[in-house]
């Protein structure tokens, strides 16, 4: 079996497992978890996200992927990352709407687990596994996989039109996050960005916000901000000297190592 075929089989298998786990735990509003842990209530989300994080950590360990979680980001990472925060700022128009009983389970515990499991799996494991196909395809396919993973929300009862917007937004945002991961040589900037954006979304897009007269305009503004990240991500990668050098002088399967500073 060729290197590319092995990489594809492993990536697809892990993604299928990741999605199957999400489907199982999200089905019918979390019926499985509620059956195992009666009275889980406000902690249902954090419990699910902890399980997903465990899967991502297990995948990283099993594949020995170069996730970048053990690397320090290069100088200037904050300046490069700042534009990505625009993806979450439209929700600030709603103000803080989270009830006090959900602050600890969702903001303090839950959101960090979401950022960890999604960044470690998609910008860590999956992006690294796809590197034999070249950095362009690795970024594109891992971002499409990230966006498509949000389709699982439909079995949890989410509104289909919003899910469609979410898939488009997270696919585009995934390109920018992958670009930051590659450009800075570390997973931590992407983790921080993801954490901040989700803190904003979880604390604002609930309660009164769901019936607000500005809900649709804000959602479309959020979608537009995320779609802009698609262009920003590719521009950022094109301006990365090591990637340009890799494109000119190395075969596709070697370009990732040269671009990220990691050993192949």
Q: Which of 117, 123, 121, 149 is nearest to 138 (CA)?
A: 123
Q: What is the mean pLDDT of residues 175-182?
A: 96
Long-range pairs, 136-140, Cβ under 8 A, ≥24: 137/252, 138/178, 138/256, 139/175, 139/178, 139/179, 139/182, 139/233, 139/237, 140/175
What residue ranges do the domains of the chain occupy? Answer: 3-260
Q: What is the mean pLDDT of residues 54-80?
A: 96
* Both structure tokens of 80: 């490069």
Cα 194 from Cα 209, distance rounded (Å) = 21
The count of other CB atoms within 10 Å of the CB of residue 130 is: 23
Q: Confidence class of residue 249 from pLDDT cuts 50, 70 and 90?
A: very low
Q: What is the mean pLDDT of residues 200-224?
A: 95
Q: What is the mean pLDDT of residues 141-170?
A: 93
pTM to 2 decimals?
0.90
- The pLDDT, as a whole number, for residue 252 is 42
């Amino acid at each position: 079996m060729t290197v590319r075929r092995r990489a594809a089989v492993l990536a697809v298998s892990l993604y299928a497992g990741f999605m199957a786990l999400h489907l199982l735990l999200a089905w019918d509003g979390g019926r499985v978890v509620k059956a195992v842990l009666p009275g889980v209530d406000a902690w249902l989300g954090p419990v699910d996200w902890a399980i997903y994080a465990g899967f991502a950590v297990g995948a990283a360990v099993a594949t020995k992927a170069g996730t970048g979680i053990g690397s320090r980001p290069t100088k200037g990472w904050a300046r490069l990352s700042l534009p990505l925060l625009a993806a979450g700022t439209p929700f600030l128009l709603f103000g803080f709407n989270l009830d006090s009983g959900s602050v600890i389970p969702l903001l303090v515990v839950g959101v960090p687990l979401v950022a960890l499991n999604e960044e470690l799996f998609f910008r860590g494991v999956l992006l690294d596994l796809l590197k034999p196909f070249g950095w362009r395809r690795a970024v594109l396919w891992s971002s499409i996989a990230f966006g498509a993973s949000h389709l699982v929300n439909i079995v949890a009862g989410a509104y289909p039109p919003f899910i469609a917007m979410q898939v488009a937004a997270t696919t585009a945002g995934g390109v920018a996050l992958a670009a930051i991961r590659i450009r800075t040589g570390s997973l931590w900037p992407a983790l921080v960005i993801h954490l901040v954006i989700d803190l904003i979304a979880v604390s604002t897009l609930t309660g009164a916000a769901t019936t607000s007269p500005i809900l649709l305009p804000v959602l479309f503004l959020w979608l537009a901000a995320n779609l802009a990240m698609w262009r920003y991500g590719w521009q950022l990668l094109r301006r990365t000297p090591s990637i340009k050098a890799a494109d000119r002088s190395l075969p596709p399967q070697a370009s990732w190592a040269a671009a990220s500073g990691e050993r192949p």
